[in-house]
Amino acid sequence: MGVAFAAPPKRSEPPVPAKLDDPCLDSGCKRHALDHFRETVATQRTKRDRPVRISYFGDSLIATDHIASGLRQRLGALIGAGGPGFVFASSPHPFNQHQAVQRFAGGSWQVHGVSAAVPADRMLGLGGSAEGSGSVRFTPATPVSAIDIHYLEQPRGGEIEIFADGKLIETFSTGGDVKRPAFKKAALPAGAKRFELRAKSRVRLFGAALEAASGAVVDNLGIVNATAKGLAKYIAPDHLRVQLAHRASDLVIVMFGTNEAEWLVPKGQGMAEHEQVMVDLLASVRAANPDSSCLVVSPLDQLDWRKEGAPPRDSIPAMVDAQRRAAKAQGCAFWDTYDWMGGKGASAQWFRRGLVIKDFQHPTSEGAARIAEALFAGLVAK
């Protein structure tokens, strides 16, 4: 590979906990970026009177749900399971997955997503939408007590019916004078296991949050082929802020760079633009919920398997630095996963250990579990 590697640790050894940069939020350094999330988790370990929400944006590394699921399970073991959280109405990409819920969409839906087809009005919810008429069925892996439907209110909007275990709960109209994001929350019957939304006529449905009254919730907002620029460009900023404000997550995690690493170079306009895109995206996150926490997770090391000798991609260290600066500028915490996993060429070690697949970019399920375990350990003190 052209790079000298230290002997990799044994696969049975637990991962080193994530070392998170946690910047001060005031001149006296009395508050830090992660204080809100950590204090909320500490309170909910005993009080358990509301969900603790994490919204995890990302690309294919998150879209598989392995990292988000690992975090969901570990936090759930601490404060209880809170349900799958927000789930897209229809998968924005065929390879998106979710381990906390089964979803089936049927009918004449036209599906949009930030990495594929985008509507002209750029109203995509948290990254994807389904437009038309049809049904969406959800079967969560753990009990839930409420559903919060994210949709577009619009002229001549159709109706949505809510069913629980085949029984109609409520019907509401999505019609309105102008196009704007809207939300409908409904209580769900105790013990119900299967939920369905049936859309009639002209409906644009973004998705639904399925939650218990308390416990850990990790929204999987990863989309295959997504980039930070795509999220910032293809969702209208005001629209995204409304979605984030309504979701009111205690922690928003942003992890992009897997795709950008293939074309960005260490210096130049492209990398400068990436940094500015991250700054703008994080500004929307912070503006939506100023008192909540945010965290940027850097891209992992990559090897360019298409080139002779599979050299490490030299875009990664520059991207890590750019994202670190963007996070600090907006008062967000930062995790340098590139350094954590071993730095330049570390994905070769991870491949030998069965922790990344042969593209030297995407973690295996075991590799993703180690990332989730390290992140949880860094976020939640013992």
Helix pair angle (237-247, 269-288), 10° resolution: 40
CATH number for 173: 2.60.120.1360
Q: What percent of the chain has pLDDT over 90?
A: 92
- Of the residues 213, 245, 276, which one is the last residue of a structural domain? 213
Check whether residue 368 and residue 302 sit in a common domain: yes
Q: Which of 319, 314, 313, 315 is closest to 297 using CA atoms?
A: 319
Q: What is the DSSP letter of 298?
A: P
pTM score: 0.95
- What's the total number of domains in the chain? 2
Q: What percent of the chain has pLDDT over 70?
A: 96
Residue 208 has pLDDT above 80, yes or no: yes
Residue 301 has pLDDT above 70, yes or no: yes
Strands 85-88 and 195-211, by their bridges, are: antiparallel
CA distance 221 to 199: 23
- Check residue 14 and give its pLDDT: 87
Strands 85-88 and 180-187, by their bridges, are: unpaired
Considering only CA atoms, give the Rg of the chain.
21
Please give the residue range of the domain that contains residue 356.
Answer: 1-82+214-382
pLDDT of 31-74, one tens digit each? 999 999 999 999 999 999 999 999 999 999 999 999 999 999 99
Check whether residue 14 and residue 136 sit in a common domain: no
CA distance 89 to 111: 9
Is the Cβ–Cβ distance between 331 and 25 less than 8 Å?
yes
pLDDT of 146-199, one tens digit each? 999 999 999 999 999 999 999 999 999 999 999 999 999 999 999 999 999 999
Please state the separation of Cα 3 from the chain's center in Å: 33
At 225, which amino acid appears?
N
pLDDT of 79-102, one tens digit each? 999 999 999 999 998 889 999 999
Check whether residue 77 and residue 92 sit in a common domain: no
Residue with tokens 């753990």: 142
Check whether residue 263 and residue 346 sit in a common domain: yes
Check whether residue 149 and residue 276 sit in a common domain: no
- Check residue 6 and give its pLDDT: 40
- Of the residues 169, 194, 213, which one is the last residue of a structural domain? 213
Is the Cβ–Cβ distance between 223 and 267 less than 8 Å?
no
Residue 10 has pLDDT above 80, yes or no: no
Residue 365 has pLDDT above 90, yes or no: yes
